[in-house]
Amino acid sequence: MEKLSDNTQTTFEDIRRNYLGICENIARSGREVRIMAVTKTVSFERINYALDLGVSLLGENRVQEYLDKRENYKPAEVHFIGGLQTNKVKYIIDKVSMIHSVDSMRLAEEINRRAAQHGIIMDILTEINIGEEQTKGGITADSAGEFCAEVDELPNIRLRGLMTIPPAGCSESVFAKMQELFEHLKVENAHNRENAMFDTLSMGMSGDYETAIKYGATIVRIGSGLFGYRKYL
Ligand SMILES: *Cc1c(COP(=O)(O)O)cnc(C)c1O
């Protein structure tokens, strides 16, 4: 695993400027979108600075890195967004409020089991491999309906929506396809379950968040566009 870097080329002033720029772009879009600050390789000082600026949601994608850093964080809402091995669920189940990267029944069942042990209901998103890329995790758009319905049966899980990482540089039609899938499954989900709350589309990163917002993203996950390029030591 890469060691932590503190994105040392980026100053606090840069982070402030980046954050205000992102806020401005979102305001201009006129949509309700939540900014998630993606914190992999970023030092806790910089993370705390972002929280002071008004960021209210952090995204972690490495279990060990999160466990090492979290003691130093100011209070914040944290979602897990990275690939999650089944045997690591127990370490984060009570330390995050949503898991964005659910892409197998085995993982969903383990989250359900651990959530039950803690007496909680865990919010999750189904990760969709919208570009059907070999190198990426996620459920294909074609099997998403069946998968979501099955996940929804698990009593200690609440399916809140979908997450995706579109292929780099892909055309807008891929985002449009994702939006369509999201809207379709939202209707299905409302039929499947009382108190359904299928309201979250986690889509868009530093390079494509404005396109993602245009196609209905409700959470954009921003790392380098906020904290500067990650430097792996
Ligand atoms: C790293 C990461 C991001 C942020 O990527 P940037 O391009 O740096 O904004 C978003 N989502 C996931 C799942 C990531 O791992």
HSE-up of 103 (CA within 13 Å, CB side)? 20
Q: Is the pLDDT score of 67 beyond 90? A: yes
Q: Is the pLDDT score of 2 beyond 70? A: no
Q: Is the pLDDT score of 7 beyond 70? A: no
> How far does residue 223's CA lie from ligand 1's centre (Å)?
5
Please report where in the chains the tokens 């369509």 appear, as a residue: 180
For the CA atoms of 75, 93, 200, 25, the dihedral, rounded to the nearest 10 degrees, stands at 40
DSSP annotation of 164 reads: E
Length of the chain measured in residues: 233
What is the atom index within ligand 1 of the atom nearest the CA of 100?
13
- Ligand 1 neighbours, Cβ below 6 Å, are 38, 40, 61, 81-82, 165, 205-207, 221-225
Q: For the residues 70-92, what does the mean pLDDT come to?
A: 96
Q: Is the pLDDT score of 3 beyond 60? A: no
Q: For the residues 169-182, what does the mean pLDDT come to?
A: 97
Q: Is the pLDDT score of 4 beyond 70? A: no
Supply the pTM of this predicted model. Answer: 0.95
